[in-house]
Structure 1
C-alpha cells in the first residue's frame, strides 16, 4: 500500500481503517464501537474493549514462541555496561517487579511516579505498571525537587520508583536527595519508594518508606513470583506525562491503553518500516514522549528489540558514539533529535568517525523533537549515505502527525518539511480569526477533530484547562501551538511555536526560517534566533550561533556574511542585523534549545529557571555575550 492509498483509505472510512489496524492487537474483549463520538470531548476510540498493554508488549511474544528473541539492549558507556534481555527474561523481570508492587499495595488505577536514569529498570517499571493496570507517570531523571513535587502533588502516586543516582559524563546526579526533597515539599506523600541502588553511589534508605528494588525483585524472581496481566478498558489511562505549561504548572497529558497500542503498532511497520526481530533505537530519554512511544512501547509491541542508551551523542567517548552503538547492536533504524546531529557535526564536521564503523544493518535515520534545519539533514544524508527522515509530532499525540512513511514507500524529501500528514490527521493552516489560508501562507497549524488513536483525551485533573489550552481557540480543531505552512503539494512546514513568530514592523516572520539561513552557512554548527523587543519596530531578530570546531572565523566578518545571506534569502523585511557568537546554546537535557528563556534575557525580563536545563551556567554566557555587544546593561 502506498502513502496516497493509505491516506485515502483513512479519509474514506476512518473507523474501518483503524478497525483493521486494531486486528494487530490482542484484546481480552473487542470494541463495541471502533469510535464512539459521544464519549469524551471529541469521542473515544475502541469503546467497550478491554486489553492489557504489557501483555501485547511482552507476554504474547513469549506465547508465540519468540521468547528467546532479544527484547531490550542496555548500552551504557558511562558505566561501561552492555546487557541484553530476551522477551522471556523481560517477562520474568516485569512479572517479579509487578508482584513486589502489588505486595506493597499498588493496584489497578493507582498512580506510580517513575523517576529514573536511563537503565533497563525504568522500562521494567513502566511495563509493570501497565501489567497491573496502574497508571505510570515518568518524570525526567534529575528534575529539580520543586518540579518533581508539582508532579507528585498532581498525580498523587501510591508508590515512587527511583534510583540512588544517575550518571552523566564526569559527574554523578544524586537522585535520592532530590527525591527526598521533593517528597518533603509535596503535600501528597507516597506510601513507599522503591529504590534501585547503583554501585556508583548507594543511597541511605528511610525505614518504613524506602524499599530496596534489587533485593525485593531478586527474592520475587527466585520464588518464581509474577502477576497476571490485569484487564483494563481500552479507554482507561496507561500513563500521565507532564509537559510544560505556560502558567508554570505542568500539564498532565493522559494516554489511553487501546488507541495507543493500535497507533504505535501501526507506525512501527508503516511509518518506520521495521520488521519484528530487528533492532530499533530511539536515542532519547524515557522521561520524554519519544522515550514512552519508541523506547518502551512501540518497538516491543511490534516484536522488535529496543535500545536503552545511557550516554551522549558526543563525549561518551567521542562523536562516534552513535555509530558504535549502531554497529555493535545491528541497529536498523535510529530516531534522535536534530540537536544530537548538530553536536556530532560540530565535533566531526567531515564525518570521519562514521567511516570507522560497520553500519551495514542500518537503513534509516529519523529526526524529530524540534525543527530539522535543511543543513543538518543534508549533512547527515551526505555522510551516512542513507535516507534521513524528518517527522513532526507532539507529547499530546504520541506519534507522528506528519512524516515520510518509509513503510509505505518513501516520499520525495522536501528540505525543511517533516513530510505530509499521516493517516488520522487532517491538518489545516488557519489565520488568527480561524479562516483557512492559501497554500504557502504562514498561519496556525491545527488538526481537525477527532484526533486519531493515541491522541490525548484530556489532561489529568484538569478538564477545563484541556479545553482552554487546546480546543477553544479554534472550535472543532486541536490547536497545536505551532505555526507553519502547507504547500501546494500537501507538505507541512513547521516554522516555529506560535510564540516564536516575531512581529517586525508589522510583518509576521518565522524565527525558524531565519535559523535555516544561518544554519546553512558552512561554518555554523548550530544557531538560534529570537525576537528582542525594539521600541521602533516592535521586535528585532537576534541571532546566536556556535561555529564548527576548527572554523576560526572573525566574528565581525562572519556576521556580515550572515546578514547578507538573510537579506538575500528572506529579504530586507527581516531587518536582521545582529549575529552573536556563543560557545554553546542553552538547552534542555533532551536537546531542545531554550529560545524563550534567551528572549527573556535579551529583553531584560524576569524568567523562571527552566526545570530541564542542561547547564544553568549557559544562561550567564548568553548574558555576557549580549553585554559584550552593548545589548544588555
Structure 2
C-alpha cells in the first residue's frame, strides 16, 4: 500500500505530465493556426475596430499583427475598468520605503490623473506620433506619463532615472522628442540623486532641442525651472483639460525602449499598440496566473522592459492591482522588506530578478527575516533578468515553500519566450531551466551553420519567424540595423544572442550569451555552467565567470565569487575547494584554476552582471563603464582581484 505522501506524489506527477501535454498542445496550436490563436486572444480587449487580418505577412521579414485593427492601449488599461464599475479598485499600490510613503491610487483616480496629463500634452502641441522622453524615478507619476502618451498616440521613451547626461543626450538625439517629463530627484539607499542637473547637462549636450520640460518637484529636492522651457508638474495639471482616448492603428508605435548598456548610436526597440496589448493580457492570465482584482508585483524599475510590461501595462490591461516599489531587496531597510510587503498587500504573484534573491540570500542565508511573516497570499514567485542558477532557485523554494518559476525573455521580445504556464498548465519545475517555449514562439537550438542540434547539445538559440504579437517590430528609424542585428545570421529566424540547449522533454536551458561561450582548447563551455557549479559551494552567494586569453589553450575560465555574510573561510582553502568542485562537476577539460573572492560584482541596475566589461579589464582592453552600471566602484574591485591573479594592469 502506498502512503498518503506517496499517493500525493504520484498524483502530482500525473497532473504535471497531463499539463505538459496541454502546454504542448497549446504551443502547437499557436504555431499551426497563428491567426486563429491570436485572434481569439485579442477578444480579451476592447477594439474600436476589430482586425480582419490578424497576421499580415506581405512585407516579410517585417510582420504586422492586427494591421487593420484600431484600438487604444490606455483605454484598455484604464477607462474600460472604470466603465465596468471597478473605478474604486486600487490600480497602483505605491510603496516607497526610501521616503516612508505608501498609498493606493484607484482606477478612477488613475483615469483622472492620466486624462489631465494627456490634456496638458495636447495643449502644448503634443499629438499622435510625437515622441516624449520620460526621465523619472519610481513614482506613480511615471506610470501616468506613459499612459498619457498612450492615450493620445504620442510615442514614449522611458530613460532610467539617473542615467548619465551623455547617455540621456544620445537618446534625446535619436528619439527627437518635443517634450521631456522629469522629476527633481530620485531616491537611492545612498541618498537623494538630483535629476535636474543631469537633465540640464544632457539638453545642453544634445543636438536636438526639446520644446518643453515638465518637472515633478519632490519634497526631498527642489529643482529650479528654466523660464520659457521648464514647467511645474502640479501647476500645469491643475488647470489642464481632460483628453479623450485617440483611435490608433494596432500597428502604431506605443513606445521606443533603448536597450541597456548601449553606447554610441543607441538601439531603440519599437513596440506596437495592438500586438503588445494582446500578448501582455494573454501572459498575465496564462503565465502569471493573474485575473482582474488580483495583486501583482514586479520588483523592477519602469526604465527596464520588465517595468514597461509588468509594472505598468500588463497588470493594468488585466484589471489587476500593480504594486510599484521605490526601494531595494536589501538595505531599505533589511532583507525582509520584500516579504513583509507581499504579506501586507496580499500579493498573489511576485516577479523579481535572481540577483535580488541572491542579495537576500547573502544577507539572510537562514531566512530569519521570514520568521513570522504570513505569505499564504503568495502563490508564485517568478524570476527573470539574469540566468537563475539552480542553487538560488532551490534556496528560494526551501525558504518560501512556493513554486519558484524561472522564465526567460528579452527587452526585444517584451514578454516571456520560455516559461511555466502557471495560470493554465503548470509543469514540473527543473532547476536551471525556464521550462518550455511559450505559445507563439517557435524556439530552436542550432549550430553555426543553422542546423538543428540534438537534445542536450549546446548551440545558438533562435526563434523562427514570424515572432508572435508583442515583440519588437523594428528598431527606431533603423530597419536595416534591425535586420543586420537580429535576422541576418540565420535567414527566416530571429537571433536571440543566447546560447543553450533543450533536453529530451523539450525544456529549454539558457546558459549564457553567445559571446560568453569559452573556447578552451577547442571545447565550447558556457559561463553559466561554471557559475552554476560555483554556486553549489555552501559559502558562495553568487558567482561570475569570464573567459580570459591564454597562450596555450586560447581561453581559460576565470571566476569571481561573492561569499555569504559571516563566512570566515581562508582564501587558500576557498580556492582549493572551488577548483576541486569544478573539476568534479565539469571535469579536467575545464582547466579551471583562476578564482578569487570579491566583495561585490559589477552589475547593471536591472541585475545583469557586466561580464563583457570584466573581460575587457582582464585582457587590458579599453572599456567604458556602461551608463546602466549600479556601482562604478565595483569595476575597481574587479581590477584588483584580476591583478592578484595575474590579469589586468594594476593601473587604470
2:156 pairs with 108, 132, 136, which one? 136
Find out whether 1:83 has 2:107 as its counterpart: no
Q: Distance in 2 between matches of 1:40 and 1:196?
A: 43
Residue 211 and residue 502 in structure 1: after superposition, are their counterparts in 2 closer, same or farther (change >3 A)?
same
Find out whether 1:233 has 2:249 as its counterpart: yes
Find out whether 1:550 has 2:592 as its counterpart: no
Q: Distance in 2 between matches of 1:41 and 1:256?
A: 16
Match of 1:147 in 2: 167
Match of 1:71 in 2: 91
5 Å matches for 1:250-269? 250-269=266-285
Q: Distance in 2 between matches of 1:4 and 1:352?
A: 40
Deviations 1:68-107 (A, max 9, x none): 1110011000000001001000000100111111111111
1:278 pairs with 294, 309, 314, which one? 294
Q: Distance in 2 between matches of 1:355 and 1:456?
A: 43
Alpha-carbon offset, residue 401 of structure 1: 0.3
Alpha-carbon offset, residue 247 of structure 1: 6.4
Match of 1:358 in 2: 374
1:189 pairs with 189, 205, 209, which one? 209
Deviations 1:140-185 (A, max 9, x none): 1111011101100000001000000000013111100000111111
Deviations 1:277-335 (A, max 9, x none): 01100000000000000000000000000011000000000000101110121111110
Indicate conservation of the 8 Å contact 2:55/2:63, yes or no. Answer: yes
Match of 2:501 in 1: 485
Match of 2:396 in 1: 380
Find out whether 1:399 has 2:415 as its counterpart: yes
Q: Distance in 2 between matches of 1:247 and 1:575?
A: 34
TM value normalised by structure 2: 0.95
Q: Distance in 1 between matches of 2:126 and 2:262?
A: 33
Alpha-carbon offset, residue 551 of structure 1: 1.2
Q: Distance in 2 between matches of 1:213 and 1:40?
A: 43
Match of 2:518 in 1: 502
Aligned length: 629
Q: Distance in 1 between matches of 2:121 and 2:295?
A: 30
1:344 pairs with 345, 360, 364, which one? 360
SS at structure 2 position matched to 1:513: helix
Deviations 1:326-346 (A, max 9, x none): 012111111000000000000
Match of 1:27 in 2: 47
Alpha-carbon offset, residue 15 of structure 1: 0.8
Deviations 1:333-391 (A, max 9, x none): 11000000000000000011112322121111000001000000000000000000000
5 Å matches for 1:172-251? 172-220=192-240, 225-244=241-260, 248-251=264-267
Deviations 1:107-139 (A, max 9, x none): 111000000000000000000000010000000
Match of 1:586 in 2: 602
Residue 51 and residue 590 in structure 1: after superposition, are their counterparts in 2 closer, same or farther (change >3 A)?
same
Find out whether 1:458 has 2:478 as its counterpart: no
Match of 2:350 in 1: 334
Residue 56 and residue 577 in structure 1: after superposition, are their counterparts in 2 closer, same or farther (change >3 A)?
same
Q: Distance in 2 between matches of 1:14 and 1:273?
A: 23
Indicate conservation of the 8 Å contact 1:58/1:87, yes or no. Answer: yes
Alpha-carbon offset, residue 445 of structure 1: 0.2
Which consecutive unaligned segments of at least 5 residues does structure 1 have?
A: none
Which consecutive unaligned segments of at least 5 residues does structure 2 have?
A: 1-18
Match of 1:294 in 2: 310
Match of 2:25 in 1: 5
1:368 pairs with 384, 393, 410, which one? 384
Indicate conservation of the 8 Å contact 2:603/2:609, yes or no. Answer: yes
Indicate conservation of the 8 Å contact 2:260/2:628, yes or no. Answer: no
Q: Distance in 1 between matches of 2:305 and 2:324?
A: 14
Alpha-carbon offset, residue 14 of structure 1: 1.1
Indicate conservation of the 8 Å contact 2:174/2:266, yes or no. Answer: no
TM value normalised by structure 1: 0.98
Indicate conservation of the 8 Å contact 1:41/1:457, yes or no. Answer: no
Q: Distance in 1 between matches of 2:54 and 2:487?
A: 23
Deviations 1:219-255 (A, max 9, x none): 33xxxx3111001100010000001477642200000
Match of 2:618 in 1: 602
Indicate conservation of the 8 Å contact 1:366/1:391, yes or no. Answer: yes
Find out whether 1:102 has 2:122 as its counterpart: yes
Residue 611 and residue 355 in structure 1: after superposition, are their counterparts in 2 closer, same or farther (change >3 A)?
same
Indicate conservation of the 8 Å contact 2:167/2:263, yes or no. Answer: no
Residue 216 and residue 247 in structure 1: after superposition, are their counterparts in 2 closer, same or farther (change >3 A)?
closer
SS at structure 2 position matched to 1:541: strand
Match of 2:11 in 1: none
Deviations 1:172-204 (A, max 9, x none): 111000001111111101100000000010011
Q: Distance in 2 between matches of 1:630 and 1:536?
A: 16
Indicate conservation of the 8 Å contact 1:545/1:579, yes or no. Answer: yes
**RMSD over aligned Cα, in angstroms?**
1.1
Q: Distance in 2 between matches of 1:503 and 1:304?
A: 47
Answer with 28-37 or 243-252: which moved more: 243-252
Q: Distance in 1 between matches of 2:576 and 2:484?
A: 44
Deviations 1:510-564 (A, max 9, x none): 0000000001111101110000111111111000001000111111111111111
Match of 2:12 in 1: none
Alpha-carbon offset, residue 455 of structure 1: 1.3
Answer with 304-313 or 621-630: which moved more: 621-630
Residue 248 and residue 528 in structure 1: after superposition, are their counterparts in 2 closer, same or farther (change >3 A)?
farther
Find out whether 1:303 has 2:319 as its counterpart: yes
Q: Distance in 1 between matches of 2:359 and 2:30?
A: 39
Alpha-carbon offset, residue 631 of structure 1: 3.0
